[in-house]
Amino acid sequence: MLKSNASGNDALLAAERRRMILNHVRRHGAASVAQLAAWLNVAPNTIRRDLDTLAADGKLTRSHGGAVANEPSYTRMPYESVSHTHAEQKRWIAQAALSLLPDDGTLFLSDGTTVMAFATQIPRGRGFRVVTNSLQVAVHLVAEKGIGCELLGGRVRPELLATDCSLATHALETLYWDIAFVGAAAIDVAFGITERDAVEAERQRKFINRATRAIALCDSSKIGKCSYALVGPVSLLDTVVTDSGASPEDIQALRSAGVEVVVADLPSDALETDAKG
């Protein structure tokens, strides 16, 4: 009887532990075995078995050394569905990033709603060259800003309003830019820079590697999170521009890793308005 009760208690503890693990992964987007083992004060093998069980039940996705959440936020949504999400934060990030613009040279602007918000803030008639894979960025800069722009070719992905650069292999091997302004699905010191699919991750890595300086423009909802496919370590980035909604711990972790962090301070009423919808 005592043995039966002990087994029941063990089962209850395991179920509760897995519930806590699942909630933690969903809240943070991802977690490593080491992090979870230290948090719950159990052996790493116990965590691995818990993650395997949760993955077998379809509740999360196992990754190397941990797990990633099965959340809609980590799936690429249609551009129009996300263009207004965190719009106020993106506008302030764009304004803060203007101080990083050079007077001349070659810039790369990737696809993404935050980078597009930045493009709308660039003053007219600047003397630099812009290379991009974003249809929206190219049209806006040429038509509205009078800025010369070169578009990397490839299949148009409607959910991005950008090309997949499939016809730009040679360009991505032979061209360089002074500064690359890129977005990211998620940035975390432990998990690195991650994207929603492997193709995006590979393309993003090339964008960054061709730049003398790489600057990521990401609202705070993407800081301290992990998505699906690895672009590379945060050391690939020179600067991250985000908003004041990012946690001080995540900001300090990036700075300790050698990444400059520019924080766009939003008024509290702007944060409240965006949170309401």
pLDDT (0 to 100) of residue 4? 36
List, for residues 120-165, the tens digit of each pLDDT value.
999 998 889 999 999 999 999 999 999 999 999 999 988 788 999 9
Statement to judge: residues 60 and 93 lie in one domain: no
Statement to judge: residues 48 and 120 lie in one domain: no
Statement to judge: residues 122 and 65 lie in one domain: no
**Which tokens go with 265?**
């301070």
Torsion over CA: 182, 188, 193, 199 (sign): negative
Among the candidates 45, 70, 95, a domain finishes at 70
Statement to judge: residues 175 and 51 lie in one domain: no
pLDDT band for 74, please (50, 70, 90 cuts): very low
Statement to judge: residues 142 and 9 lie in one domain: no
- Comparing 170-184, 244-258, 259-273, the range with the smallest average pLDDT is 259-273
pLDDT (0 to 100) of residue 266? 66
**Torsion angle, CA of 90/160/136/100, rounded to 10 degrees?**
40
State the pTM of this model.
0.71
Statement to judge: residues 126 and 153 lie in one domain: yes
Statement to judge: residues 66 and 195 lie in one domain: no
Mean pLDDT computed over 54-74: 77
List, for residues 179-200, the tens digit of each pLDDT value.
999 999 999 998 899 998 888 8
Statement to judge: residues 164 and 193 lie in one domain: yes
Statement to judge: residues 171 and 249 lie in one domain: yes
Number of structural domains, the chain? 2
pLDDT (0 to 100) of residue 44? 94
> Looking at the predicted structure, is the pLDDT value of residue 208 above 60?
yes
Domain that holds residue 197: 79-276
| pLDDT greater at residue 95 or residue 74 | 95
Among the candidates 70, 97, 112, a domain finishes at 70
Mean pLDDT computed over 251-273: 79
